[in-house]
């Protein structure tokens, strides 16, 4: 079974700082990759997704992620965070091996942005 | 409005009682999921369904029952609630590109 690791459980940044959240997965085949965001008291929303093609994926609100297949990584980045980015971020992996396969979520990284 | 809804949004119950959490989606998505979210555990899959009348266990199914008689509804029942089932429950469905759409969640407290 695949697994997803998010090594940073809690990140605190000042506004305008750059952000990089790590995500590594363990599955050797083709995957779809996702980042979801959960704002305080809300449900998870899709931030960005990778299916194929350009490994640098751009999402909403200035976020981007880079898929590095050789490293089994899909790190999330933002050049300059805002207070409104305070949220929990989840990486998710969906293996592609015929039909729909269950998504595995990481345990999440809580981001706190200090004004 | 189109989307995925859950009810109730908040529920307090007592140990041993039966509780049913409702989930409704208007997209006619085939796959639907129930997750629980607990501090330190992230999202854990309870049950999922590939279509009406097709359900399967996830990571933490014990103590839960699901049914799916219609594509749009996927209720989750706690047959005899325990304190360990205090959690936030999210329902989700899968879109065209395998992305998941989540409902607003139900915060359940078992006393």
pLDDT digits (tens, 9 = 90+) for B30-60: 999 999 999 878 889 999 999 999 999 988 9
* Residue closest to B91 by CA, chosen among B41, B42, B43, B38: B43
C-alpha A57/C-alpha A4 separation (Å) is: 19
pLDDT at B84: 96
Q: Which residue is listed with tokens 């979210």? A: B37
Averaged over B11-35, what is the pLDDT? 96
Return the percentage of chain B with pLDDT > 70, whole number: 98
Question: What is the pLDDT, as a whole number, of residue B81?
Answer: 97
Closest CA to A50 of A32, A68, A37: A32
Q: What is the mean pLDDT of residues B7-21?
A: 97
Shortest distance between the Cα of A16 and any Cα of chain B, in A, equals: 28
- Spatial separation of the C-alpha atoms in residues A111 and B97, rounded to whole Å: 27
Question: Residue A41: what pLDDT?
Answer: 87
For the segment B9-36, the average pLDDT, to the nearest whole number, is: 96
Q: How far apart are the first and last CA of chain A?
A: 41
| Nearest residue, CB atoms, B31 vs list A44, A49, A100 | A100
pLDDT in tens, chain A (115 residues): 678 999 889 999 999 999 999 999 998 888 899 999 999 989 899 999 998 899 999 999 999 999 999 999 999 999 999 999 999 999 999 888 766 667 889 999 999 999 9
A2 token code pair: 């695949």
Contact call for residues A77 and A20 (beta carbons, < 8 A): yes
How many CB contacts within 8 angstroms connect chain A with chain B?
48
What confidence score (pLDDT) does residue B42 get? 83
- The predicted structure's pLDDT at residue A30: 86
Q: Is the dihedral of CA B27, B31, B32, B37 positive or negative?
A: negative
Whether residue B8 is preceded by a cis peptide bond, meaning omega within 30 degrees of 0, is: yes
**3-class secondary-structure state, position A31:** strand
CB contact set of B52 (below 8 Å; sequence gap of 6+): B68, B69, B70, B71
B17 touches chain A (CB under 8 A): no
Q: How far is B105 from chain A (nearest CA, A)?
A: 6
* A106 contacts B104? CB cut-off 8 A: no
Burial class, B10, CB count within 10 angstroms (exposed 0-12 / middle 13-18 / buried 19+)? exposed
Residues of A in contact with B102 (CB under 8 A): 36, 43-45
């Amino acid at each position: 079974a695949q697994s997803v690791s998010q090594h940073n459980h809690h990140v605190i940044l000042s506004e305008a700082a750059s952000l990089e959240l790590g995500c590594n997965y363990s599955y050797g085949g083709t995957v779809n990759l996702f980042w979801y965001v959960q704002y305080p008291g809300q449900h998870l929303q899709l931030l960005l997704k990778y299916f194929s093609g350009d490994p640098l994926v751009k999402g909403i609100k200035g976020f981007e992620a880079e898929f590095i297949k050789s490293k089994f990584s899909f790190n999330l980045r933002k050049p300059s965070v805002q207070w409104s980015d305070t949220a929990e971020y989840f990486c998710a992996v969906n293996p592609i091996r015929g039909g729909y396969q269950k998504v595995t979520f990481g345990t999440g990284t809580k981001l706190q942005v200090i004004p | 409005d189109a989307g995925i809804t859950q009810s109730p949004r908040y529920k307090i119950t007592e140990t041993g009682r039966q509780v049913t959490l409702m989930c409704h989606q208007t997209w006619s998505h085939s796959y639907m999921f129930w997750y629980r979210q607990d501090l330190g555990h992230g999202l854990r899959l309870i049950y999922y369904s590939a279509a009406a009348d097709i359900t399967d266990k996830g990571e933490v199914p014990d103590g839960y029952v699901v049914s799916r008689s219609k594509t749009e509804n996927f209720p989750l029942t706690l047959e005899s609630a325990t304190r360990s089932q205090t959690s936030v429950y999210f329902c989700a469905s899968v879109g065209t590109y395998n992305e998941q759409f989540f409902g607003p969640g139900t915060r359940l407290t078992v006393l």
